[in-house]
Structure 1
């Protein structure tokens, strides 16, 4: 039977989910999406995501691909409307489109971009959307100087969650910088791939630099040690957003 492959673009608020990937006895973004797709297309649908986000992490852009055995005629706009009606408000479908059968949402991606948001004053409208940092002042230039040194490395074992099923801990960083926002900071980081927990561990380590707990030389030693125990604590998931997945055939969003 002839299969057809489709890409689906979604966004989601990760607050109430145990991450993207299906897990036993847990509500995940993938489990909700697969159920909605299976209902809409009236056949079992199993998605393959462009990556996986942890519990509480958000995504303003996320792609997955899936195959259909029997493909009814449908318009993308109608599919978006119908699938969205079957999903919780915390997940939104933006687009559904056919691709070549060999296209892969995960392995075809050439870069991924994350943002991490920090705010300094209590704000009820930023609960579960940003990390409230309420301790000592942060030295922004020093943090960016330390972030720039990360661009010199490729092995980021020191920022990776232990016991992950990866063949390599090498990543190609393309951008890493903090910027001031209204009442806080936002850290933007872009790479060809990321390790489990990598962004949150990097932010936690750079916060240590901003507080004056460690210097630039210590950051280099942490990376070169390849030991997770030497890096800073992971910052809370609520401030992390996957914002862009770039493919060779698509235009990348500006950082």
Structure 2
């Protein structure tokens, strides 16, 4: 039978989601826990790949196994077995052809910035010394909406068939010295959000103009876009699926 697992993690200690040689990853920790408790080899397919150091407030993966008699008890045992920086929120049966990655309809990320130096949030936010013009950053962010080729914001040597993504939302919000950038799209390229944030910060600090975003996108060159911001302040916050796959409310 096929199951979906909903979980979250603080990514500081991990080299991203996907299993890699000689590196600790979230997928490896979860597969080890599931395989140990279910007493069989369990392989997980995640909703996507997060880079090293990136966090997930909501993430999904699917796996196949024999029928689970009590998913609530399994979830409790998994949370006792897993490290403190990974938590399971739900486990439930899905259709046999449900796919955590390919059936996801949209994903949302948030990036957290502070303009006030704070030793208590240094590992969870990105500190910017310069004054930011949020109005200009929001005008520039609107130029990202719709279906476009975002190769300029993609990590080089990425194995993808297309660089086209449909961005549905891109907005900055400010509360005192905190700036939060929220972006929603049907899919994301590797390093895409961090490169976009770095480019929009260039607009906010006056390094480039709002209209220069058009030039950067048209260039399809990563060298034309801004510097990628640190992973520590990036959070995957929501993954959505059709109702026939997830009948419960998203975490």
Question: Conserved in 1, the CA contact under 8 Å of 2:115 and 2:131?
Answer: no
The alpha carbon displacement at 1:153 in A equals 4.9
Which of 26, 30, 38 is 1:29 aligned to? 26
- CA distance in 1 between counterparts of 2:122 and 2:97 reads 41
Of 36, 41, 44 in structure 2, the residue corresponding to residue 39 of structure 1 is 36
Does 2:99 correspond to 1:104? yes
Q: How many Å apart are 1:152 and its aligned residue?
A: 4.8
Q: 148-157 vs 51-60, which deviates more?
A: 148-157
Distance 1:47 1:152, change over 3 A: closer
Report the secondary structure of 2:77's partner residue.
helix
How far off its partner does 1:76 sit? 2.1
Instruction: Choose which of 167, 171, 174 in structure 2 pairs with 1:177.
Output: 171
Contact 2:3 2:93 in 1 (8 A): yes
Q: CA deviation at 1:183?
A: 2.2
TM-score, normalization by structure 1: 0.94
Runs of at least 4 residues off by over 3 Å: 250-253
Give distance in 1, aligned partners of 2:225 and 2:11: 25
Which whole-Å CA distance do the structure 2 matches of 1:16 and 1:181 have between them? 29
Residues 156 and 226, structure 1, Cα contact 8 Å, conserved in 2: yes
Pick one of 158, 166, 186 that aligns with 2:160: 166
Structure 1 residue 206: deviation in Å?
A: 0.3
Contact preservation (8 Å) 1:246, 1:252: no
RMSD, aligned α-carbons: 1.5
Look up the SS of the partner of 1:238 in the other structure.
helix
* 1:184 CA drift (Å): 1.2
Q: Which SS does the other structure have where 1:8 is aligned?
A: strand
Counterparts of 1:48 and 1:170, CA distance in 2: 23
Match of 1:240 among 226, 231, 234: 234
Q: Residues of 2 paired with 1:125 and 1:11: CA distance? A: 21
| SS, match of residue 144 in structure 1 | helix
Deviation of 1:151 (Å): 1.1
Offset at 1:182? 4.1
- 2:193 — aligned with what? 199
1:91 aligned residue (54, 67, 86): 86
The aligned length equals 248
Deviation at 1:92, TM superposition (A): 0.2
Q: TM-score normalized by structure 2? A: 0.95
1:243-254 mapped onto 2 (5 Å cutoff) = 243-249=237-243, 250=246
**In the TM superposition, what whole-angstrom CA distance separates every residue of 1:100-148 from its partner, at most 9, and x where no partner exists?**
11000000000000000001122232122111112x2111100000000
1:130 pairs with 2:87: no
